[in-house]
Chains A and B, each alone.
Chain A
């Protein structure tokens, strides 16, 4: 190991330390890049970092990030989720576990239009948790369902995570979207099966609502459900469909989607100044937060790779015994463990660039590997102490819900996510079939 490589390892250890100590990820990255860059590269760190920043600015595909965030926020402000949940509540309420089903389905629909989870999780906590607790649902189940369902947003396309993964790994975002669709739906299906079996085995877990509590029935109910669900379903199908069919680029689709969301908001009479302003500001803050991390990570990575840190970790991983499936397991396990402490943006831009060349030399399909990574990163939303989904649920849930309840509630869902990763490893066609059929290729 050369001095440079030792420095690279120290750089990575410092980064983890600084992040765990509560220093902003974006600034810790830039700080370490400057310190180590100046020591080992000298003044050339500056022009090099300007190229990194300008490269991020010029990347057309990343424009989809703010546009998808804006689209999701506008839909959230239109209270579409409320309408959808209300009608599903009436539909599924009378069966055991019905409200949990309604929650997962609402989340799945919204997962496909938001791409960020804060809004979905908060909205669903406010909506679904009180109604489930009122029906004597188990506290753990009620909150776990919202955590797990809400986090689907980061996986089911159009997802901001996939938009950022694409340019980093030189993969087409459209292919990633197509590839993530079935794993996302499989995960939602696993959640539903779990709730179904759980509430069947243990009736106190999720009791049914009584017939008297339903306010509408029959035709009226179907009409209400349709009115609430069709506009957003149509929007999702149009946005996703045009991307997956290869008609429009993700950026184009995100722009049209943002515009269409405004029309839907107007139709629901929710298009007012304060909603617009909120959406614009939310978009700005998400965007600036994410892109400062991306800029920081791109500068950090170029210094880290210059020092030979990437090559070092690669040779360490490659020299492990038991063949390529064990190395895959080790990489996934490292990501899972780091996910307890570091947010997905950090993992995506720091750890993944190191793992990509390893996966490549092991001969794994890059598209398949990318979706496994994203499935894995999705777990970091549910694994405490640093778990976005749990923060948001705790912040919005009624006070009788304790953090311990939520921890208890997410355990089965984390387990189900691991099952989904396993299924995708055993049946790679779950990931690779759709992009091959629609876009004629499964990653180069």
Chain B
């Protein structure tokens, strides 16, 4: 399987995973509501688990959203370009505007998470004191997935430019 196809597959899978995180998210919020308002016994973990599920959803789903062209943009100028020009334009946007921030912030995310693991830092949001390393690791995971998808888009764009050149 080619690089582009494998990356698309990867984003489809991570997209499915993060899309279905909405189910446990609803379940955890519901459970917490029941325990807090009806049984008067709020859980220690409900609050933290729900924001972790929520942030995992949008961070891991970023790559899939890029694949599906879900990140919004104004297409007044873009839509009047020819297909070939669109591919050239997209390639440059991916190379200059999207890829570098994803790689740099992703790398910063690795350091950020590694520090949390090394110092066995705990979350201070509630009294549950869950380690902060795992949720912080979501940042580099999400951004690198997006960076990889971005590479695949660049290759796809370049292929399209070449194809357009022959026609």
Interface residues of A (CB under 8 A from B): 18-28, 30-31, 33-34, 46-47, 49-50, 53-54, 56-60, 62-63, 66-67, 70, 247-248, 251-252, 254-256, 258-259, 277, 280-281, 283-293, 341-343, 345, 385-386
Contact B108–A49 (Cβ < 8 Å): yes
A249 — nearest CB in chain B belongs to which residue? B33
- Number of chain B residues close to chain A: CB under 8 A: 56
Known contacts: A18-B97, A66-B57, A343-B72. The answer to whether A30 contacts B33 by CB under 8 A is: no
CA distance A281 to B22 in the complex (A): 9
Q: CB-CB < 8 A to B139: which residues of A?
A: 50, 53-54, 57
A25 — nearest CB in chain B belongs to which residue? B72
Q: CB-CB < 8 A to A28: which residues of B?
A: 97
Q: CB-CB < 8 A to A385: which residues of B?
A: 76
Contact A47–B51 (Cβ < 8 Å): no
Q: CB-CB < 8 A to A251: which residues of B?
A: 29, 50
Contact A291–B26 (Cβ < 8 Å): no
CA distance A267 to B160 in the complex (A): 48
Q: CB-CB < 8 A to B19: which residues of A?
A: 277, 280-281, 283-284
A29 — nearest CB in chain B belongs to which residue? B101
Within 8 A of A (CB), among B114-157: 125, 135-136, 138-139
Contact of A288 among B33, B64, B73 (CB under 8 A): B64
Contact code string B18-38 (vs A, CB < 8 Å = 1, else 0) = 111011011001101100110
Q: Is B71 an interface residue (CB 8 A)?
A: yes
Contact A22–B76 (Cβ < 8 Å): yes
Contact A24–B136 (Cβ < 8 Å): no
CA distance A248 to B70 in the complex (A): 32
Q: Whole-angstrom distance from the CB of A290 to the nearest CB of chain B?
A: 8
Q: CB-CB < 8 A to B30: which residues of A?
A: 255-256, 259
Q: CB-CB < 8 A to A18: which residues of B?
A: 97
Q: CB-CB < 8 A to A254: which residues of B?
A: 29
Most buried by B among A20, A31, A284, A290: A284
Interface residues of B (CB under 8 A from A): 15, 18-20, 22-23, 25-26, 29-30, 32-33, 36-37, 47, 50-52, 54-55, 57-59, 61-62, 64-65, 68, 70-78, 89, 93, 96-98, 100-102, 104-105, 108-109, 111-112, 125, 135-136, 138-139
Contact of B78 among A22, A46, A59, A286 (CB under 8 A): A22
Contact A289–B51 (Cβ < 8 Å): no
Q: CB-CB < 8 A to B58: which residues of A?
A: 66, 284, 287-288, 290-292
Q: CB-CB < 8 A to A283: which residues of B?
A: 19, 22
Most buried by A among B20, B23, B89, B97: B97
Contact B93–A289 (Cβ < 8 Å): no
Selected A-B contacts with CB under 8 Å, 24 pairs: A22-B75, A22-B77, A23-B93, A24-B72, A24-B93, A24-B98, A26-B71, A27-B101, A34-B100, A50-B105, A56-B55, A60-B47, A60-B50, A63-B25, A67-B29, A248-B33, A248-B37, A252-B33, A255-B32, A284-B64, A284-B65, A289-B70, A343-B74, A386-B76
Contact A284–B18 (Cβ < 8 Å): yes
With A57-B54, A70-B22, A252-B29 known, 16 other A-B pairs at CB within 8 A are A23-B97, A24-B73, A27-B101, A34-B101, A57-B55, A57-B135, A66-B54, A248-B33, A255-B25, A255-B30, A256-B33, A280-B23, A284-B15, A285-B68, A288-B70, A345-B72
CA distance A122 to B62 in the complex (A): 25
Most buried by B among A18, A252, A255, A290: A255
Contact B74–A22 (Cβ < 8 Å): yes
Q: Whole-angstrom distance from the CB of A277 to the nearest CB of chain B?
A: 8
Q: CB-CB < 8 A to A62: which residues of B?
A: 54
Q: Whole-angstrom distance from the CB of B139 to the nearest CB of chain A?
A: 6
Known contacts: A22-B77, A66-B57, A287-B58. The answer to whether A31 contacts B101 by CB under 8 A is: yes
Contact B73–A22 (Cβ < 8 Å): yes
Q: Whole-angstrom distance from the CB of A157 to the nearest CB of chain B?
A: 18
Q: CB-CB < 8 A to B61: which residues of A?
A: 284-285, 287-288
A388 — nearest CB in chain B belongs to which residue? B72
Contact A63–B74 (Cβ < 8 Å): no
Q: CB-CB < 8 A to A54: which residues of B?
A: 112, 135-136, 139
Contact B22–A66 (Cβ < 8 Å): yes
Q: Whole-angstrom distance from the CB of A163 to the nearest CB of chain B?
A: 12
CA distance A59 to B77 in the complex (A): 36
Q: Whole-angstrom distance from the CB of B36 to the nearest CB of chain A?
A: 8
Q: CB-CB < 8 A to A258: which residues of B?
A: 22, 26
A254 — nearest CB in chain B belongs to which residue? B29
Known contacts: A19-B74, A27-B97. The answer to whether A46 contacts B108 by CB under 8 A is: yes
A20 — nearest CB in chain B belongs to which residue? B74
Contact A284–B57 (Cβ < 8 Å): yes
Known contacts: A22-B75, A284-B64, A287-B61. The answer to whether A58 contacts B100 by CB under 8 A is: no
Contact A59–B64 (Cβ < 8 Å): no
Q: CB-CB < 8 A to B68: which residues of A?
A: 285
CA distance A60 to B36 in the complex (A): 16
CA distance A34 to B50 in the complex (A): 30
Q: CB-CB < 8 A to A49: which residues of B?
A: 105, 108
CA distance A241 to B62 in the complex (A): 34
Q: Whole-angstrom distance from the CB of B105 to the nearest CB of chain A?
A: 6
CA distance A409 to B151 in the complex (A): 43
Contact B25–A66 (Cβ < 8 Å): yes
Q: CB-CB < 8 A to A70: which residues of B?
A: 22, 26
A71 — nearest CB in chain B belongs to which residue? B26
Q: CB-CB < 8 A to B23: which residues of A?
A: 280
